[in-house]
Structure 1
Amino acid sequence: MMQGSAVENHPFSPFEDRRIEQARSGEHWDRLTNAQRFAFYTLAKLGYQLLFVRRTPHTSTAIVKQEEQLVTINDDGDIDFNPNVVLRERRPPRQQL
């Protein structure tokens, strides 16, 4: 009982809960394996955001970001804090002449 009330009264609990809810509502959430979801919960509490899930016929890799730090989560939920991933830059659309 004491532990529950201590957690409920913790000043950061509502903030963390909101982050997790935002993560669940993302369009890529359904593409995560259960192991990836569990790993992402941990990262979401630290402020990471799910960018997308890259799928192949046999594997999937979740791409997660916090500021400029990219992180990957494999099918088994293993987190790589130093992945070899390069994101394409978004360019403004070309103007027609």
Structure 2
Amino acid sequence: MTQVAYQINDRRDKDVIHHDEHWNLTTADQKLALYDLHRYGYRLLFVRHMLKGPVAVISQQDDIAAIYADGEVDLRPLITLRESH
């Protein structure tokens, strides 16, 4: 890995948000939906702010899903995640 790549990784590490902070960014409807999905093994990965409100990205093993601000669950969202090392 080059020095530039190290600098980028260092910057990303500083921008990492703790899980509780992501949880606090979700709406009440998203929390209810995640409670329901938690029994199937889904867990919250992160929350992204979009024009229509926050989108909670969740996973169960290798399956990715999204919960929109109104609590609607999309089990097949068009989301591509970066690989973490």
TM-score higher than 0.5: yes
Corresponding residue of 1:65: 59
Asked if structure 1 preserves the Cα contact closer than 8 Å seen for 2:52 and 2:69, the reply is no
SS in 1 for 2:34: helix
Indicate the RMSD between aligned Cα atoms, in angstroms.
1.5
TM-score, normalization by structure 2? 0.72
**C-alpha distance in structure 2 between counterparts of 1:83 and 1:58, whole Å:** 15
Query: Is 1:75 the equivalent of 2:72?
Result: no
Q: How many pairs align?
A: 67
Corresponding residue of 1:84: 78
Corresponding residue of 1:30: 24
Higher RCO structure (Cα 8 Å, ≥6 apart): 2
Shift of 1:26: 3.5
**C-alpha distance in structure 2 between counterparts of 1:50 and 1:88, whole Å:** 16
Q: Identity of paired residues, percent?
A: 37
More divergent stretch after superposition (28-37 vs 50-59): 50-59
**C-alpha distance in structure 1 between counterparts of 2:75 and 2:45, whole Å:** 15
Corresponding residue of 1:47: 41
Gaps of 5+ in 2: 1-18
Structure showing greater radius of gyration is: 1
What are the within-5 Å matches in structure 2 for residues 14-25 of structure 1? none
Greater percentage in strand: 2
